[in-house]
Amino acid sequence: TLVNGAADVVAADSTGIYWSGASPTNAQALGVYELAAGTTSVVQLAPHSTILRLVVDDTNVYFVVYGAQSSIMTVPKGGGSATTLYVDDYVQAIAVDGSSLYALLAGDATASTGRIVRMPKPGGAASVFAERLSYPTDIVLDDGYVYCADFNAAAIVKIAK
């Protein structure tokens, strides 16, 4: 067992396993199991009880907080204050590459209003990257493409960056 407590979501990179859930003291937390040291530490005690998506890059952890609206937030891997990058009613999933953060917005499942927006990782204006998706549910990236699972279309959509 790497982490004691309830881990709701996980993300990994070459240095650690990042998780969100109940910490050993039962507070909601965003934490890391550091692979080289074999230790667990809290990156941030999260006042947000519902963190359902996590991704990491070289310096930050990005996460989606669900509430009245969905917020995409980021915090440095070493801990610190969380920053809100984007707020929308329908954030379903997120992904990052070297310079951008991509947010998958589910939209209305019956009206093909799903879309993907792209914004600079440090924050800033979001621009529509793809739209009229039927009911997108997940997103991943590689160097040249964005791949989106579209549930209602029963398809994986491939979009050039």
- Tens-digit pLDDT profile for residues 29-69: 788 899 999 988 878 766 556 788 999 999 999 999 887 78
Tokens, residue 40: 């667990």
- Tens-digit pLDDT profile for residues 124-150: 999 999 999 988 899 999 999 999 999
User: The whole model's pTM is what?
Assistant: 0.89
Is there a contact between 47 and 81 (Cβ–Cβ < 8 Å)? Answer: no
For a pLDDT cut of 70, what percent of the chain falls above it?
A: 91
Q: Report the alpha-carbon distance of residue 39 to residue 59 in Å, rounded.
A: 19
pLDDT computed for residue 79 by the predictor = 87
Q: Report the alpha-carbon distance of residue 93 to residue 23 in Å, rounded.
A: 23
DSSP string, 55-123: EE-SSEEEEEE-SSSEEEEEEETT----EEEEEETTEEEEEE-SSEEEEEE---TTTT-EEEEEEETT-
pLDDT computed for residue 43 by the predictor = 81
Burial of 81 (0-12, 13-18, 19+ CB in 10 A): exposed
Q: How far apart are the first and last CA of the chain?
A: 39
Average pLDDT taken over every residue of the chain: 87
pLDDT computed for residue 24 by the predictor = 59
